[in-house]
Homo-oligomer: A and B are copies of this chain.
Amino acid sequence: MRGRNEGMGPWWHGRFRGCGYRITAGRDAILDVLTRANKHLSAEDIYLKVHSIYPAIGLTSVYRTLEILADMGLVLKFDFGDGRARYELAEGSKSSHHHHLVCTGCNRVIDYTDFIDEEVELLKRTEKGLSDKYNFRITNHLIQFYGLCDKCAKKKGGE
């Protein structure tokens, strides 16, 4: 009845060691926060959350760790147009592959998975075609829709 991870650390330890990275308290805490988070956090958001658990953390280390995680493909880095990068754990236990709906009025971001199957299917074909034609090794894609959320549309429409 024991969990099958009895005795070993969290899932990401293996990935880290595999890439030659050391396991540190700071990195553990950052992954912890990312795993727990359901929103799209900025580096400072993450720094503050980690800081309350592990006060020795430095903002610089947060940036460094996020860069490593992004390189390893464990987190995704987004630009939603508010001047700071946003991070979220890539496809994992909780989250599944999704795209974003961004309100240009209030910067609210909605994760959507509707139509994701059709989209992914078309994307696969497109990727294949583009890879062949332009000799590109495609590793990732970004799809975002921009517009006004209900509240912002009302606000603008009412004036």
Contacts and interface: CB of A to CB of B under 8 A. Distances in A.
A21 interface: no
A101 B137 CA distance: 10
Interface string A137-159: 11111111111111001000000
A134 interface: yes
Contact of A142 (B134, B135, B137, B146): B146
Interface in A116-149: 118-119, 122, 125-127, 129-131, 133-149
Given A101-B134, A112-B130, A115-B129, A145 B149 contact: no
Count the copies: 2
B145 A127 contact: yes
Nearest to A135: B150
A103 interface: yes
A140 B146 contact: yes
27 contacts: A79-B79, A101-B134, A104-B139, A110-B134, A112-B130, A114-B130, A114-B133, A115-B122, A115-B125, A115-B126, A115-B130, A118-B126, A119-B126, A122-B122, A126-B145, A135-B153, A136-B145, A137-B147, A137-B153, A138-B145, A139-B146, A139-B147, A139-B148, A142-B143, A142-B145, A142-B146, A143-B143
Interface residues of A, number: 36
Contacts of A118: 122, 125-126
Given A130-B112, A133-B114, A141 B139 contact: no
